Amino acid sequence: MSQGIRGATLRRLLRDRLGLLGAGLLVVLLVLGVFGPYLPLGDPTAIGAGPRLGPPSAAFPMGNDELGRDYLPRVVQGIGATFLLSSIAVVITALLGTLLGIAAGYLGGVTDSLIARIADVLFAFPALLFGLLAAAVIGPGSVSAIVVISTATLPLFVRVIRSVSLSVAGREFAVASVVAGASVWRVMVVHILPNILGAAIIQLSYALSIGMLIESGLSFLGLGVQPPDASLGSLLRLGSVYLTVSPWLVLIPGLVLALAIMSVNLLGDAIRDLLEPLRGRALR
């Protein structure tokens, strides 16, 4: 029985060509981001490695920036930084948001109202405004970016988990566990948590794409990753100054960022279709 279910799931996954495309792109970008420093691509901070604002060539496939640095290793470094900061922030969001969402959905009452109001307040704050506040208090950099991404993605995560937890808490097995004398923590961890993991994973994938957008926006404004390190957003900011003479300095990181976000969203759609096949998009 279980083998048949796994086989059907695998066949459905293999038929989802958009999901496979997203997974493939994401794997390539993650490999570049993680193993980029160990690949023979050159030093991303070496000034004067080539001509200033040099166009793409055989020696420098992505050209050179305003300081003559090789743009290829800088883009690879930017991929790693954007993925790393977004992933750390989203993992924090997932852990905290799952705990708060389950507590709100199961406990209800004052706990639910308090968590819901806090989520509403956080949801009302624009990410840019909170980024300026975090940069003023903490200082611009990676820590500020993580704080802003976590704060911006947390309210929606809490709402989704709370909604799913409400439906699970009213089911027979959860009620029977309470009648049998199970503690609140046991019901939340043993009975509710496994049944909301699917929704949490789906929301996690979408939160990652939002996190990459926020991180890039903060770095573009100079509030995120600081020079000489690079992220895709900081590369866009520096390249925009030379847009008319060296458009590849904007087009390349912009295209990479678009592909990264697209790959995460396509993979998130594929996971949703596997977990909720009746609600998913039609397979192509």
Asked if pLDDT for residue 11 goes beyond 90, the answer is no
Annotate 108-162 with three-state secondary structure. Answer: CHHHHHHHHHHHHHHHHCCHHHHHHHHHHHCCCCHHHHHHHHHHHHHHHHHHHHH
Kindly report the number of other CB atoms within 10 A of residue 186's CB atom: 13
Asked if pLDDT for residue 10 goes beyond 60, the answer is no
- For residue 284, what pLDDT band results from cuts at 50, 70 and 90? very low
| Residue predicted with more confidence, 61 or 182 | 61
Question: Coil, strand, or helix at residue 98?
Answer: helix
pLDDT tens, residue by residue, 65-98: 989 999 999 999 999 999 999 999 999 999 999 9
Asked if pLDDT for residue 144 goes beyond 80, the answer is yes
Is-cis flag, bond preceding 44, omega within 30?
Answer: no
The whole-number pLDDT of residue 188 equals 85
The whole-number pLDDT of residue 278 equals 43
pLDDT tens, residue by residue, 198-251: 888 888 888 999 999 999 988 998 888 888 888 999 999 999 999 889 999 999
**The model's pTM:** 0.85
Residue 251's alpha-carbon distances to 24, 72, 181, 210, in angstroms, are 22, 13, 61, 20
pLDDT tens, residue by residue, 148-189: 999 889 998 999 999 888 888 878 887 788 788 778 888 888
Element (H, E) at 234: helix 232-240
- For residue 133, what pLDDT band results from cuts at 50, 70 and 90? confident
- The domains located in the chain, with CATH, are 2-42+73-275 (1.10.3720.10)
The whole-number pLDDT of residue 13 equals 60
